[in-house]
């Protein structure tokens, strides 16, 4: 068997790794669906789809995508405010390439997606992180920083936030857009988890809908988590003021846009109704797993362990009992065949937190993992009690 | 019919546009072949190929690619010195992201690929262009500049150079690698046309083979012109010293490498022998068209028009009679239903040159276009003679 991935996740009898933020291959990676869409695409007889492509993505695809997003968001999306990207990462890299210079300042939440921070390093940007609470980034803290220095952009993950799973509250969305106008910066919203909002759980609209004047907000979306990461396809939704300098850049002129063949496959997935059907399944399944994870936490965790309740996405944030550090726990947990992302790795003030992902494991395996973690906590508590 | 491309090329009765540097869709874009490779790929049953991919590209694919390149180059290529890119453009963008800061200096040939220059602008790099002659960049001119300032890298197109069609001579290849060591800069070779060397026409090895110490040369390759541009797949060949910082970057960690699904399709195209067969066809066909273009130039052009003889690639450089400017000719040519890239657009000292591409049109259409151009030159000569 070919080894395709970045890393191999061990079998559950060896370890349950709650750190893995990837879709589970055998349930959430829809090979049959992608095959069906690819077959439909390759049945075409016009070789021009193999040519250098239209720069923002070909119009017929953007129309389909706009229709799909309009239905999902319950708010209008026009093909003219969309361009195709290589996923969130590719969109972010292009945005930075065109709008930033080395040494420029960017704001992000504290904590933030650790690889976004590394992408800012790739581009030699300086990062200031703004405190957040359970309702997302704190506007007063943001403004305090803005009075000192204004960034080129604010990078935010407004729903299913990585690593906290938190959602930026509606009033705060309005407030930070106001701040973007007042202080003159762009909001770059990584909305990779927006379409993974849990069914029946109300959540705010994507960030562009809070930008009435349509000048300061760009939203990054992706097929990685609603279809498949290896497609490397996503989109950017924003006003022409932001999209045009990107569409006009040398890089996209030279490449003929981004991934036209894959765009064609995803176009078929949308038009055949496969994407919509799969997304509904993914939303249900993630919601189910999240509920199972939270129930298991409530059932098995010792007193003093609490968790937050996400509205969607991949992650639940768990808080350890007073005084227990996530790094201390990790050593014990690993011996106990369980693993997680310790809060120490994502920010000051999160030392007693764990990020648990529920995207990779089945319901049963999640329960196994939580039991192992709970035992590890108890073991650590006993050790620490004996040590005193 | 869906409009896929960046632009529509008008039919020949309206215009022959020798500016178009794209493969002709109905002869050089192998839809049947890509379909066959895609069908083979999607027949697979392991959903892991849809997961976040291995960062440099999955090993089995790099092994196949290395085998293919080894055979084509007649020189060894190891999978360890290869990483997958989104084509030349994507490779160049990644290289710049990791190794450069805004304001850094890059050297390029004068003239150079106009979109590479625009990519340098995207990244806010400063460019100094070094004169070239029929044997490529002139080492003495390069060293003269190096004595004043050293760039982060030299961007060169060492074979089938765009826009001149020229090939960097073997002794100069050695010399500029020496200079890279002496002055401490990297050579980034855009070898998009290397595999399009004409059959039976001897050409030097790719640039990495002149870097004995394996520290200073990276070669960018692409499937755009040997398979299909819309695949957005290419590779980078270089020493670990150059590849590792790229492989370790945040961008590739976050995206899980580049285009794993397309890598899988191209992997099949190589392993099924389709890529090799198609490349042989493309080389023959381009050689044939180039010869037809050169014969037509010899046959129809007025006295004083000369052309160079490329060893491969897409382009023939034509020199107009003494005193005639390519921009003056363009106006007349367009009225005469022919178009080309005027030398004025690619550099000082090239005002009397035209770049003609032979990749897009059939033999017959090439002849029609050359006749129209020849007539335009005669018309312009007559007008200018009358104007005196």
Q: Are B102 and B203 members of one domain?
A: yes
| Inter-chain residue contact A89 with B251, CB threshold 8 Å | yes
What pLDDT, in 10s, does the model give residues A99-111?
A: 999 999 999 999 9
Nearest to B81 by CA among B200, B303, B199, B238: B238
Contacts of B220 in chain A (CB under 8 A): none
| H helices present in A131-239, as ranges | 139-148, 170-183
Domain end (from A216, A245, A275)? A275
Residue B357: strand, helix, or coil: strand
b/e B367-381 (16+ beta carbons within 10 angstroms → b): bbbbbbbbbbbeebb
Structure tokens, A25: 């291959």
Q: Give the pLDDT confidence of A5-63 residue by residue, as tens digits.
A: 877 889 999 999 999 989 998 889 999 999 999 999 999 999 999 999 999 999 999 99
Are A256 and B59 within 8 A, CB to CB?
no
Domain-located, residue B5 = no
Contacts of B225 in chain A (CB under 8 A): none
Asked whether residue A203 falls in the same domain as residue A299, the answer is no
Torsion angle (degrees, nearest 10) of CA A183, A186, A187, A191: 170
Pairing of strands A136-137, A126-133: antiparallel
CB-CB contact of A261 with B262 (8 Å) = yes
CB contact under 8 A, A4 and B48: yes
DSSP string, A92-161: HHHHHHHH--TT-EEEEEES--HHHHHHHHHTT-EEEEEEEETTEE-HHHHHHHHHH---SEEEE--SS-
Question: Is residue B250 located within the same domain as residue B298?
Answer: no
Confidence at residue B388, expressed as pLDDT on a 0 to 100 scale: 56
Cα B147 from Cα A356, distance rounded (Å)? 57
Same domain, A320 and A238: no
Q: Is the CB of B261 less than 8 angstroms away from the CB of A257? A: no
Contacts of A95 in chain B (CB under 8 A): none
**Class of residue B263 by CB neighbours under 10 A (exposed 0-12, middle 13-18, buried 19+):** buried
Residue % of chain A over a pLDDT of 70: 99
Overall domain count for chain B: 2
Structure tokens at B275: 């890529």
**Over residues B84-101, mean pLDDT:** 98
Cα separation, A222 vs A21, whole angstroms: 15
Distance from CA of B301 to the nearest CA of A (A): 32
d(CA A165, CA A178) in angstroms, rounded, equals 24
**Cβ count near B385 (within 10 Å):** 8
- Centre a 10 Å sphere on the Cβ of residue A384 and count the other Cβ atoms it contains: 13
Is A302 in the same domain as A317? Answer: yes
* C-alpha torsion A69→A73→A79→A82, nearest 10: -90
For residue A301, being part of any structural domain is answered with yes
Q: Which of B47, B86, B115 lies at the smallest CB-CB distance from A29?
A: B47
A23 with B59: Cβ contact below 8 A: no
pLDDT in tens, B327-348: 999 999 999 999 999 998 887 7
Are residue A22 and residue A37 in the same domain, yes or no?
no
Are A161 and A310 part of one and the same domain?
A: no
pLDDT in tens, A347-386: 778 999 999 999 999 999 999 999 999 999 999 999 988 8
Chain A residue numbers with beta carbons less than 8 Å from the beta carbon of B44 are 31
Q: Which residues of B touch A38 (CB under 8 A)?
A: 38, 42
Cα separation, B185 vs B151, in Å, equals 6
The answer to the question of residue B243 being in a domain is yes
CB B81 within 8 A of CB B211: no
What is the arithmetic mean of pLDDT over B269-285?
98
- How many CB pairs (< 8 A) connect A and B? 248
A315 and A368 belong to one structural domain = yes
* A7 inside domain: no
Domain edge (last residue) among B272, B305, B335: B272
For B115-143, the pLDDT digits (tens) are 999 999 999 999 999 999 999 999 999 99
CATH number of the domain that residue B266 is part of: 3.40.640.10
Q: For residue B85, list chain A residues with Cβ-Cβ distance below 8 A.
A: none
Shortest alpha-carbon distance between residue A169 and chain B (Å): 26
| HSE-up of residue B385 (Cα within 13 Å, Cβ side) | 6
**Gap between the Cα atoms of A160 and A167, Å rounded:** 6
In whole angstroms, give the CA distance from residue A173 to residue B199. Answer: 62
- Asked if A31 and B47 come within 8 Å (Cβ–Cβ), the reply is yes
What number is the average pLDDT over the span B183-208?
Answer: 96
CB contact under 8 A, A51 and B88: no
Q: Do B256 and A230 touch (CB under 8 A)?
A: yes
**Of the residues B231, B248, B272, the one at which a domain ends:** B272
- How many CB atoms neighbour CB A180 within 10 A? 22
Nearest to A119 among B118, B119, B250 (CB): B250
Answer whether residue A3 shows pLDDT above 80.
yes
Which residues from chain A sit within 8 angstroms of residue B58, using beta carbons?
Answer: 2-4
For residues A356 and A315, the answer to whether their CB atoms sit within 8 Å is yes
Q: What is the CATH number of the domain that holds B304?
A: 3.90.1150.10
Which parts of B272-314 are beta strand (E)?
Answer: 306-307
Q: What is the pLDDT of residue A62?
A: 98
* Distance in angstroms (rounded) separating the CA atoms of residues B253 and B235: 17
Q: Identify whether residues A357 and A298 lie together within a single domain.
A: yes
| Secondary structure class of B297 (helix, strand, coil) | helix
Preferred mutation among A64, A89, A249, A250 to probe B, highest tally of B CBs within 10 A: A250
Quote the CA–CA distance of B196 and B289 in Å, as a whole number: 13
Residue A240 counted as domain residue: yes
State the nearest Cα–Cα gap between B30 and chain A, in angstroms. 7
Same domain, B263 and B284: no
Residue ranges making up the domain that contains A358: 16-29+281-387
Report the residue from B25, B50, B230 with minimal CB separation from A53: B230
Q: Are residues A306 and A235 in the same domain?
A: no
CA distance B126 to chain A (A): 13
Tell me the pLDDT tens digit for each residue of A183-221.
999 999 999 999 999 999 999 999 999 999 999 999 999
Identify whether residues A159 and A39 lie together within a single domain. yes
Asked if residue B147 has pLDDT above 70, the reply is yes
In a domain, A6, yes or no: no
**Mutation for testing the B interface, residue in A5, A125, A152 having most B CBs under 10 Å:** A5
Tokens representing residue B238 in the block: 């270089």
* Strand intervals (E) in A229-387: 234-237, 306-307, 315-319, 338-339, 341-342, 353-357
Q: Which of B156, B163, B162 lies closest to B187, judged by CA?
A: B156
Contacts of B167 (CB under 8 A, 6+ apart): B135, B136, B158, B159, B160, B161, B203, B204, B310, B311, B312
Q: Can you tell me the ipTM of this complex?
A: 0.96
Segment A124-136 shows an average pLDDT of 97
Nearest CA-CA distance, residue A15 and chain B, Å: 19
Question: Which of B52, B61, B113 is best to mutate for the A interface (most A CBs within 10 A)?
Answer: B52
User: From CA B69, how far away is CA A303, in angstroms rounded?
Assistant: 62
- B363: in domain: yes
- Sign of the CA dihedral with A214 first, then A217, A218, and A219 last: negative
In a domain, B293, yes or no: yes
Among the partner residues A22, A51, A58, nearest to B229 by beta-carbon distance: A51
CB contact set of B111 (below 8 Å; sequence gap of 6+) = B129, B132, B163, B164, B343, B346, B347, B350
pLDDT at A388 over 60: no
- What residues of B are in contact with residue A103 (Cβ under 8 Å)? 101-102
The Cα–Cα gap between A199 and A72 comes to 11
Check A119 against B254: CB less than 8 A apart. Answer: yes
Nearest residue on chain A to B223, alpha-carbon basis: A50
Interface test with B, best of A21, A122, A124 (most B CBs within 10 A): A122
User: B337 in the Ramachandran plot: left (φ > 0), alpha (ψ -120 to 50) or beta?
Assistant: left
Closest CA–CA distance from residue B129 to any residue of chain A (Å): 18
Task: Determine the Cα–Cα distance for residues B336 and B378; give it in Å rounded to an integer.
Answer: 11
Can you tell me the distance from the alpha carbon of B185 to that of B216, in angstroms, rounded to the nearest whole number?
7
Q: Which residues of chain B are within 8 Å of residue A116 when distances are taken between CB atoms?
A: 250, 254
Residues of B in contact with A1 (CB under 8 A): 46
């Amino acid at each position: 068997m070919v080894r395709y991935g970045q890393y191999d996740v061990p079998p559950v009898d060896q370890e349950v790794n709650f750190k893995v933020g990837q879709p589970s291959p055998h349930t959430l990676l829809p090979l049959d669906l992608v095959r069906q869409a690819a077959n439909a695409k390759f049945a075409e007889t016009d070789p021009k789809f193999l040519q250098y492509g239209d720069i923002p993505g070909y119009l017929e695809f953007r129309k389909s995508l706009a229709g799909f997003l309009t239905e999902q968001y319950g708010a209008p999306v026009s093909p003219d405010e969309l361009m195709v990207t290589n996923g969130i990462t590719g969109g972010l890299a292009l945005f930075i390439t065109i709008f930033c210079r080395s040494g420029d300042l960017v704001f992000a939440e504290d904590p933030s997606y650790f690889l976004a921070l590394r992408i800012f390093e790739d581009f030699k940007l300086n990062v200031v992180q703004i405190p957040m609470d359970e309702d997302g980034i704190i506007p007063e803290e943001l403004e305090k920083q803005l009075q000192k220095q204004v960034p080129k952009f604010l990078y935010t993950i407004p729903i299913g936030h990585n690593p906290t799973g938190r959602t930026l509250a509606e009033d705060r969305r309005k407030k930070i857009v106001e701040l973007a106008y007042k202080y003159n910066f762009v909001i770059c919203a990584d909305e990779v988890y927006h379409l993974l909002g849990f069914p029946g759980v109300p959540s705010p609209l994507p960030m562009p809908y809070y930008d009435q004047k349509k000048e300061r907000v760009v939203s990054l979306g992706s097929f990685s988590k609603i279809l498949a990461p290896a497609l490397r396809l996503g989109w950017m939704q924003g006003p022409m003021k932001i999209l045009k300098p990107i569409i006009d850049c040398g890089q996209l002129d030279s490449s003929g846009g981004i991934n036209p063949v894959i765009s064609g496959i995803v176009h078929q997935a949308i038009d055949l109704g496969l994407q919509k059907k799969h997304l509904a399944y993914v939303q249900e399944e993630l919601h189910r797993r999240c509920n199972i994870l939270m129930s298991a936490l409530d059932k098995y965790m010792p007193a003093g362990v609490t968790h937050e309740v996400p509205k969607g996405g991949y992650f639940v944030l768990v808080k350890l009992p007073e005084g227990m550090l996530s790094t201390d726990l990790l050593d014990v947990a690993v011996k106990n065949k369980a693993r997680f992302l310790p809060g120490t790795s994502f920010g000051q003030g999160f030392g007693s937190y764990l990020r648990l992902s529920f995207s990779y494991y089945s319901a049963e395996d999640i329960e196994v993992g939580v039991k192992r973690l709970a035992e590890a906590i108890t073991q650590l508590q006993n050790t620490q009690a004996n040590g005193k």
